[in-house]
Amino acid sequence: MTLATLLEREGTSAIPFDFDGQPGRSILLNCYRAAGYRPGGDVVLVQHGMKRNGDDYRDFWIDAADRHDLLIVAPTFSDDLFPEAERYNNGMVRDDDGAITRRESWIYHVPARVVDAMTEAGLMAEGKARIFGHSAGGQFLHRMVSLVGYGPFDSVIAANAGWYSLPTLDVEFPAGLGGIGLGEDDLRRLLASDLWILAGQKDCEAGAENLPSQPEARAQGPGRLHRARNYLETGRAAAEALGISFGWRLTEVPGVDHDGNAMGRAAAGLWFTGGLPSAETLGAGTGAVNA
């Protein structure tokens, strides 16, 4: 099955995708094409959490896809080929010995490459892609924007990340952005970008399951909500110090904890209806995904 299949087939599909930066490590695109989707319509990429369950994250978006005639694509990085945080959340920026890898091999390039391939296949139009990531996927996305840029996306939402790479060159990656070849121009680009942070107001427990607990993470706050607030304020202070406009925003979602389904519904509401859904809509059919 190839991307061209999506020109003809509605519903769910799973399509292998090869990234030339990591030969031999195929990525699986878990897709859903709504009956009303037509090439040129809105496309949402979805980044899964640490459980590598891209099929679940795709399915979380089916209701929104049917409502808004979307194409959903969830790039799935298997635990076999991309094990642990270093090879997913942290983008394969360092090798097993801690040395910096080739920039072209960083998997933060994958979402943009997927969009390029879909555009070339006639599946979508330029400027019509958005991307959402939850938990480890939220870590992946804010680091993607930090290291390789916003790319072809009209909007980027990073939700319920466990911790953040702070916008400073004085602290080494992944706690900061130092030591990997980035400079002040990269920092300015990041701080000016329209990076959208989403945080569940109930995702605030210091003892939450799978919450990163290394000292650098704990220093950002006791729970994910506190860490999101800290990240925003750290970014704001960095932009002020550089004398540039600050583009980030934070939306807190009432009543939601570490739930990838509910946070996806929140993102869909913000993108396609102009606001957060009702508490009833956020809770309907949700199932907590703690990674």
| Nearest CA-CA partner of 67 in 263, 275, 268, 285 | 268
Asked if 257 contacts 202 with a C-beta cutoff of 8 angstroms, the reply is yes
Distance CA 148, CA 109 (A): 7
Backbone angles phi, psi at 19, to 5 degrees: -105, 120
Per-residue burial over 190-202, b = 16 or more CB atoms within 10 Å of its CB, e = otherwise: bbbbebbbbbbeb
pLDDT digits 0-9 by tens, 116-174: 999 999 999 999 999 999 999 999 999 999 999 999 999 999 999 999 999 999 999 99
Residue 288 has what pLDDT?
A: 46
Residue 291 has what pLDDT?
A: 58
pLDDT digits 0-9 by tens, 201-237: 999 999 998 999 999 999 999 999 999 999 999 999 9
Backbone angles phi, psi at 3, to 5 degrees: -60, -30
Residue 275 has what pLDDT?
A: 96
Q: Is the pLDDT of residue 266 over 90?
A: yes
Q: Is the pLDDT of residue 284 over 60?
A: no
Would you give the DSSP letter of residue 106?
Answer: -
Task: Count CB-CB contacts under 10 A for residue 220.
Answer: 22
The separation between the first and the last C-alpha atoms of the chain, rounded to the nearest angstrom, is 29
Enclosing H/E stretch for 13: strand 11-17
pLDDT digits 0-9 by tens, 53-107: 999 999 999 999 999 999 999 999 999 999 999 999 999 999 999 999 999 999 9
Q: Which domains are present in the chain?
A: 3-283 (3.40.50.1820)
Residue 61 CA, chain-centre distance (Å), reads 14
**Strand-by-strand arrangement of the 71-76 sheet:** 11-17, 27-33, 71-76, 43-47, 129-134, 153-159, 195-200, 249-253
Q: For residue 132, give both structure tokens.
A: 């959402």
Q: For residue 213, give both structure tokens.
A: 């607990």
Asked if 167 contacts 248 with a C-beta cutoff of 8 angstroms, the reply is no
Cis before 23? omega within 30: no
Which stretches within 109-253 are classed as H helix? 110-120, 136-148, 184-192, 215-218, 224-242
- Tell whether the torsion through CA atoms of 187, 188, 193 and 195 is positive or negative: positive
Distance CA 199, CA 210 (A): 16
